[in-house]
Structure 1
Amino acid sequence: MGKLKIAYEYSEAEDKSIRLGLFLILSGFVSLFILGFCWLNPTLQNLQCKATNCTVLSVQQLIGELFECTFTCGTDCKGTSLYPCLQIYVNNSQSNSRALLHYDEQQLLLNPKCSYIPPCERDNQKNTETVTHWQEYWKEEIGSQPFICFFNQHRRPDDVLLKRSHDENVLLYCVLWPLLTLLVGVLIVVLTICAKTLAVKAEAIQKRKCS
């Protein structure tokens, strides 16, 4: 009776291990799909931007043209304020053409007309001061010095980025953790099946010896 109970508990533990392994395998596949759809595709597109040298041609604010941004001031508190449009035109050495500089791809998508979107404040004057400070930085600190920018000739030939939103590390994290989950799941299933096979063989050998 005791042997039957031990065998039953062992069989139940095996089933739990296999279920756990299958769950981890399924989680790994689902994670790879979700991360691949949400992160990997835009990251690969972003990484197509090639590094090149840019030189400032002009730095100016558009007179009389303001854009809206959304600020938060606490829980359930939102509002809109205004900021001026700063345009920084640069010479792209790769194509030797004039292009509009943007801080990163996110800002480019939010406002393709302007080079910089400030952290949104409730006070319009603070937004204006931030943009003006950024303007002075490019005029006085950078000037005619060449700097690294990122350019995608096929997607946006008239725009360049100061920073890329994603880098190779995102690719690593997108693939690494789902693959680890998948491999651990496979390992658990394989080890459980091997242990079960060895137990069956050992039991068969024991029976032959007894007979």
Structure 2
Amino acid sequence: MFLWAGSKTDGRSDRRSIYQKIREYEVLDKRKTVTALRAGEDRAILLGLSMVVVSVMMYFVLGITILRSYSNRVWSDEASCAIVNSTVVSNVNCSYSCGAECWKSSRYPCLQVYVSLNSSGKVVRLLHNEETQESNPECFYIPKCRKDYAATNVIVQNISERLKSQHTVQCFVDPTDRMDTAILTQVYSRVAVFHSLFWPTFTLIGGTLIIAMVKLTQYLSIMCESLSSIKR
């Protein structure tokens, strides 16, 4: 009888030990899962914060470059310009790189283009863009300085013939009439500003959404744990 009772007690203890081992494995697996989830959440929050910081830095850089140039632009009004004259008047000396600390001299043809504003009839010099005004306001287009002058001359002549064939082009003028020049294209236009601000905005929104989703997931997990503890 004592042997039977002892065997019965041993069976219960064995079942308890097996249950405890299973319970320990379940708790260990749960801890590993929670640890992995927390590590993934930390990485996601770090990624979101990095995206937000990078977007803010990009906003700062763009604010002191493109946005400032866009707000201070001179040629802001669009007008219709009739081509009056498009001729090569002279050659301009330039230098091109031939290696490390090596520069050689060359030249490019200076194309001058004059247009008449259809709104006022005023004749002004036409430039390619704002950067041309800063580099050489006497020439419509400043090609890249090359060793082969003939190739550069062909490019400039093609531009001249194309302008002559169009007769009328859309240009941008100074509304205050302080500048006696007009430009053909805007470097700092609304389209350029939109394209420059698109990716920083996309990065900022993406980083904010990542942080918000992680915080929402953490909040929902805490709510589920509290509800499960109440049911128990």
TM tier, shorter chain? 0.7 to 0.9
Which residue does 1:115 correspond to in 2?
140
Q: Does 1:57 align with 2:57?
A: no
Letter in structure 2 aligned against 1:24: M
- Greater helix proportion: 2
Gaps of 5+ in 1: none
Which residues of 2 match residues 98-137 of structure 1 at below 5 A?
98-124=123-149, 126-128=151-153, 130-131=155-156, 134-135=159-160
Aligned mates of 2:126, 2:91 — CA distance in 1: 18
Q: Does 1:174 align with 2:196?
A: yes
Aligned mates of 1:41, 1:187 — CA distance in 2: 29
Which residue does 1:82 correspond to in 2?
107
Deviation at 1:102, TM superposition (A): 1.2
Question: What TM-score does the superposition give when structure 1 sets the normalisation length?
Answer: 0.78
Structure 1's 94 and 26: CA in aligned 2 closer, same or farther, altered over 3 A? same
SS at match of 1:9: helix
Which residue does 1:19 correspond to in 2?
46
Higher-RCO chain (CA-CA 8 Å, sequence separation at least 6): 1
Deviation at 1:93, TM superposition (A): 2.5
Aligned mates of 2:162, 2:47 — CA distance in 1: 57
Q: Which has the larger radius of gyration?
A: 2
Q: Aligned Cα RMSD in Å? A: 3.0
Question: What TM-score does the superposition give when structure 2 sets the normalisation length?
Answer: 0.72
Aligned pairs, how many?
205
Structure 1's 181 and 132: CA in aligned 2 closer, same or farther, altered over 3 A? closer
Gaps of 5+ in 2: 1-26
Q: Does 1:203 align with 2:225?
A: yes
Which residue does 1:193 correspond to in 2?
215
Contact 2:146 2:152 in 1 (8 A): yes
Which residue does 1:68 correspond to in 2?
93
SS at match of 1:52: strand
Deviation at 1:71, TM superposition (A): 3.0
Aligned mates of 2:116, 2:105 — CA distance in 1: 34
Deviation at 1:173, TM superposition (A): 1.9
